[in-house]
A and B are shown apart, each in its own frame.
Chain A
Amino acid sequence: MTITLRDSWYMTVRHLRALWRQPAWIAVTLVQPIIWLLLYGALFKRVVQIPGFQSGSYIQFLVPGVIVMTAFFGAGWGGMPVIDDLNRGVIDRFLTTPVHRVALVSGRIVQGSIGVLAQSLIIVVLALITGAHFRNGVGGVAIMLFLAVLLAAATTAWSYGVALYVRKEETLIALMQFLLLPLTFLSGAFMQLSLVPGWIRHVADFNPLNWAVEGGRSAALEHTDWGFVASRTGFLLALLAVALWFAVRAFANYQRSI
């Protein structure tokens, strides 16, 4: 267990170092969520005037949406460098060493989570500047970020597993494009769910992205319901467990096929 954790950290260092050497990538990654927040904030500004919309500020409403969307997208593409590692034989090399498969996956997860936290903190600060009010203080914000990280972790593990199955960048891109945007819009990220058609509301109940958005919003911003937050946290933890199991299965399948 400790060895697996330690190996995860070594892998994390490897990934962070590779990213650190691409300053342009870091710049774009950090600026991207700001653009989303300001762009969507301006685009849908008048949404607050819809009768029944319960938040006074759309930017404030949008904060968990943009945080989770950013986390989800970043993690969704997490399988791309895995395919690169596969093609380069780097994964094959690690698979003949004592390193645990879970450490290979969790190295990517921890690296992704650090990115999610950096991006989210920028959003939170920006939201504070534009007048957002986090009613449950630091604790509420921390839970919101935790849910975003959980979603990102589960998504990274899925993306990793899918990469091991498909092994082709084109296929992974097609699959992720098919999933990422629809799941984002089938949630309360941009719109209060009581104001959307019933079927979207029902789909959203089963959408992990929505668990993170609404759980985070409830914890940090509006209408706090701790029971709701706890259940969404539980769902996301369960999802993460299943995703990790899937990734380990994907390794077994990969090794059988080579």
Chain B
Amino acid sequence: MIHAIEADGLVKTYPGDVRALDGLSFAVEEGTVFGLLGPNGAGKSTAVKILTTLSRADSGRATVAGFDVVREQARVRRSIGTVQQGSTVDREATGRENLRLQGQVYGLRGRELEGRASELLERFGLADAADRIARGYSGGMERRLVVAMALIHRPSVLFLDEPTTGLDPEVRADMWTEISRLANEQGLTILLTTHYLEEADNLASQLAIVDRGHVVAEGTPEGLKADLRGDAIHVELAQSDGADVGAALDSLTGIREITVDGRSLHARADDGARAVPVVLQALEAGGVRVASVSVARPSLDDVYLRHAGRTFDKAEAEAGEVKR
């Protein structure tokens, strides 16, 4: 099997002993859309920076398009297109000028360059705005322009770092359509990072869930969910009292993976609907008051909870607190 991207034991520590990557390893098959899913601060962007030669790992090695990201930087750079977080557009230039300069640094010239620029402007719905200064573009237009720029030299590996963060819901949906279309392109490998579970679920054919700088689970979105076997039961408690709650359910058969997180109780059962009355009864008997209860098919959120030991929302909130 040919791997478009291989990361092996990447470690990166920032000043102040912030360990962004802690032995991150994964491999991306050629021609697929690979999702790196994780909460903010999990190390996804750091991984992209290292793989796109922007930054360098403290240890570990990685190849992109078969080239070593440290020893063969020039070749890696020619093979990749990068959409970094945020906009990265030159706002004082027009859309076409942005594309032209991006093409020029890859050695595109003359009619070939102009043709390619026009083609991409057309394809990303920017033809009418092509000769307007990018300062006046909407967030969605800027993001589409950046993707167009990343594609100008026909890269074989495309990196999309949080491509829909900060976009309105409808613009996000448009972006998803664009990315799905790119996925069908012959031979193009896409590495997508996201902290939207839904986005990973929709777009990625393969997924690695990242937590605290390393991969905690890997597989197809369906496979990861299927591994969970059974339904997720979520109970919202009237008050938080962790020890009692755990004890109340421990003796029940068929209820697995019980985690209590503040006032949230998560558990898993083969048949959720049938387990609910049993759980409620046990909680009542244990003197725990319940505010609400719900049952759902496994989601990626559950996958994350199982492998990272905390809910995705909680991890996001924690990341927000320690954000530099």
Residues on A lying within 8 angstroms of B by beta carbon are 3, 6-7, 10, 13-14, 17-18, 21, 88-90, 92-99, 255-258
Contacts and interface: CB of A to CB of B under 8 A. Distances in A.
A255 B82 CA distance: 16
B80 A96 contact: yes
A17 B92 CA distance: 8
B54 interface: yes
Contacts of A10: 101, 104-105
Contacts of B93: 14, 17-18
The range of chain B's interface size is 20 to 34
Given A21-B133, A97-B105, A258 B54 contact: yes
A96 B77 contact: yes
Interface string B233-272: 0000000000000000000000000000000000000000
Contacts of B110: none
Chain A binding surface SS class? helix
Interface in B70-96: 74, 77-78, 80, 82, 84-93
Of B14, B49, B78, B133, chain A has the most CB atoms within 10 Å of the CB of B49
A89 B84 contact: yes
A97 B77 contact: yes
B55 interface: yes
B54 A89 contact: no
A-B residue pairs, 5 tightest by C-beta: A89-B88, A18-B92, A99-B105, A93-B88, A96-B52
A98 B52 contact: no
A98 B106 contact: yes
Given A21-B92, A88-B91, A98 B84 contact: no
A236 B93 CA distance: 34
A21 B102 CA distance: 20
B77 A98 contact: yes
26 contacts: A7-B104, A7-B105, A10-B101, A10-B104, A13-B101, A17-B93, A18-B90, A18-B93, A21-B92, A88-B86, A89-B84, A89-B86, A90-B89, A90-B90, A93-B82, A93-B88, A96-B52, A96-B53, A96-B54, A96-B77, A96-B80, A96-B84, A97-B105, A98-B74, A99-B105, A255-B55
Contacts of A13: 101
Contacts of A88: 86-91
Contact of A256 (B55, B85, B105): B55
Contacts of B52: 96
A10 B106 CA distance: 12
Contact of B97 (A6, A17, A98, A99): A17
| Most chain A CB neighbours (cut-off 10 Å) among B55, B78, B87, B97 | B55
A257 B15 contact: yes
A189 B87 CA distance: 44
A17 B96 CA distance: 13
B106 to A, nearest CB: 6
Contacts of B106: 97-98
A24 B249 CA distance: 73
Contacts of B82: 93, 96
B90 A14 contact: yes
Nearest to B90: A90
B54 A95 contact: yes
B56 interface: yes
Contacts of B56: 255-256
Contacts of A3: 107
A210 B282 CA distance: 87
